Amino acid sequence: MDTQHGAELCFPQLFNTSCKKPAAPLSQIWLFQILMPPVSLLTVVLNLLVIISISHFRQLHTPTNILLLSLAVTDFLVGFMFMPGEILRNTACWFLGQLTCSLYNYVSFTVTFVSVGDVVLISFDRYVAICDPLHYPTRITDRRVKLCVCLCWLCSVFYCYFIVGNDLIQPGSYYSCYGECIIFVGFIAGVVDLVLSFIVPVSVIIVLYMRVFVVAVSQARAMRSHVTAVTLQLSVSRTPKKSELKAARTLGVLVAVFLICFCPYYCVSLLGEELLNSASASIVFCLFYFNSFLNPLIYAMFYPWFRKAVKLIVTLQILQPGSCEVSML
């Protein structure tokens, strides 16, 4: 009987402090042991292709693509670290230690906050490109965008230390037993995180893209109307390029998919610590992580330059001298 009881523990030598081995239902077994591993691998490969494409080909070094590059880095980290981490947390005992768990949660919060910041920056980029196209080249420059991306990463590092820093200082102080890895956020930190990571950025994203949508529709109608030659000339001079409108639609799909995957994640986290660390919440977290797999598929569907770049990468043509100067647009 003792042997059977010990076999159910993560660390049989610690009868009083060891957690029991997780007993996942069939649905979770399918999700974490069958579906998640190949999705994790594809997420790493696809986002690595995005990173190589934008980094290597000089013609792709545009302000918008710099933002997509930052987002691809966060998506790569999700596929490389957090999808395997969720598989481990939900199907086996956490054998990597309490400090590693604390670091895992801290980096997870940081990458999530950077993702939100990148999507806000993408929304603002499209807002200026569509609503103020004449000033876009002077307001949205490569240097300013790189500075914003660096500030986004730096602020996320310090901000997330405020949210989960106590767990880094005292690893394992909130755990009930050895072999588990949970997320603990205090009440005040949780309220601040709710406002800064969810309410404010989602509101900004929705408002900016509603404005972009209204302006894009009105400009499309104006270009179709052709009322007078003078009106048409003024309209063309003040309206964004057709390529900018297409980019706005593509990135609009990207933002919409992000919100669909992101909102359930935060809705669950608002319902309390117990539900936040429950098995059902892990499925919602996986939906948020699944967004990292969908983003490069959106690029492949809507961006010809990405498909061309992938072909050059797969065929190893990027190893040829001068390949970074190849025309991609």
Q: Which residues contact 263 (CB under 8 A, 6 or more apart)?
A: 202
Which residue is listed with tokens 């029991």? 20
pLDDT, position 7? 53
pLDDT, position 311? 94
Q: What is the pLDDT of residues 265-275, one digit of tens each?
A: 777 766 655 44
Q: Which of 98, 252, 294, 262 is nearest to 182 (CA)?
A: 98
What pLDDT band is residue 183 in, cutting at 50, 70 and 90? confident
Q: Which CATH number fits domain 27-325: 1.20.1070.10, 3.40.1360.10, 3.30.9.100, 3.20.20.80?
A: 1.20.1070.10
Q: Is the pLDDT of residue 229 over 60?
A: no
Virtual CA dihedral for 109, 263, 185, 72, nearest 10 degrees? 0
Strand residue runs (E) in 89-183: none
Higher-pLDDT residue of 112 and 285 is 112
Q: How many other C-beta atoms can be found within 10 angstroms of the C-beta atom of residue 145?
A: 20
pLDDT, position 235? 46
Q: Is the pLDDT of residue 149 over 80?
A: yes
User: Rounded to two decimals, what is the model's pTM?
Assistant: 0.86
Give the DSSP letter of residue 228: -
47: tokens are 């986002």
pLDDT, position 1? 39
Which residue is listed with tokens 């290597």? 56
Q: Is the pLDDT of residue 22 over 80?
A: no
